[in-house]
Every structure is written in structure tokens, then in C-alpha cells.
Amino acid sequence: MIIKNNTRFSMSTALKEAVADYPTDGLIIELKYSPMGSRRYISGTYYRRATNFENGKLIRLRINRANRYPIAVPFKTSDYEKKNVKGQISVYQKMRVEKFQTPEDLILAIFLHEFSHYLDHIEGLNGRYKQTKADKFAVSMLEKLEVIARK
């Protein structure tokens, strides 16, 4: 795993240790600041294919310099379908909101979400509920690392 960090946050050790039990060969992590005027507190993308990156395997994270902490981040934690009393299927989504006190914890959370997409890619998976699955992975890893409390 190669980390290209263009921010003031020291993240290399935390990112590498968080996924030490998983394959990371050829994975590139880019950490940058969000463009000026961005309203997002952070954004993350996993690229299966990207220009100038052989085989894709690129995770790009952008954090906003203007963030004020703590920041509340919603994670999807449930399946999408539920039957009501009449047997009709309703679409719903349960959310778990976590507050992050530091930019480093916020970066780690979004990295773990995107890393789940990377794992799906190298395993050849392209199933349903990918965002929920990635959020569940991030939450479970953050609990394991004791960044957030178990619920």
C-alpha cells in the first residue's frame, strides 16, 4: 500500500495498521484537501479503473479544511427491505450516527468505508447493498480499533 498524503494529518501508520490483516498489494491511497468552497466535510472514492493507475486500486480521500469538530457522520446499518402487516415490502434504511472528535478519526472512518469497496473489487464481488455493506465494515473496524464505542 502506498499513501500519498498532501495534508498536515499524519495518517500513514493508522491507515496501514487498520487494514494490516487484509491484502493491500498495489493499493494507492491519496489524501488531499477538498476544493475551496466545498460543502462536504469529507469525501472518499474507490476507483476500480483510473487514468495513470494500473489496475485501478486507488482510494482518494478529500477532507475539508473548514471542518469544525465534532462532526456527526451517518452510517447505514440495515438491509433495505421490510414487510409491513399487509405483506407489502417497504424500503427503509436504519442509520447509526457517530460523532468524530478529530480529523484523523474522520479520515480513518471514510478510508475504511472505501477499503470495503476495494475488498469487494479484488474478490470479484459486485453485489447489492454495497454502501450498507461498506458502512457496516467501517463501523465494525472502528469498534475493533476502539475509535467508536460498541452499541
* Interval 69-80: pLDDT, tens: 999 999 998 866
Q: Global pTM?
A: 0.89
- In this prediction, what percent of the chain has a pLDDT beyond 70? 96
* Mean predicted confidence (pLDDT) in 132-136: 92
* Interval 8-58: pLDDT, tens: 999 999 999 999 999 999 899 999 999 988 999 999 999 887 787 767 789
Q: Residue 128: is its pLDDT beyond 80?
A: no
Domain ranges in the chain?
2-144
Q: Show Cβ contacts of residue 103 under 8 Å, excluding neighbours closer than 6 positions.
A: 9, 63, 67, 69
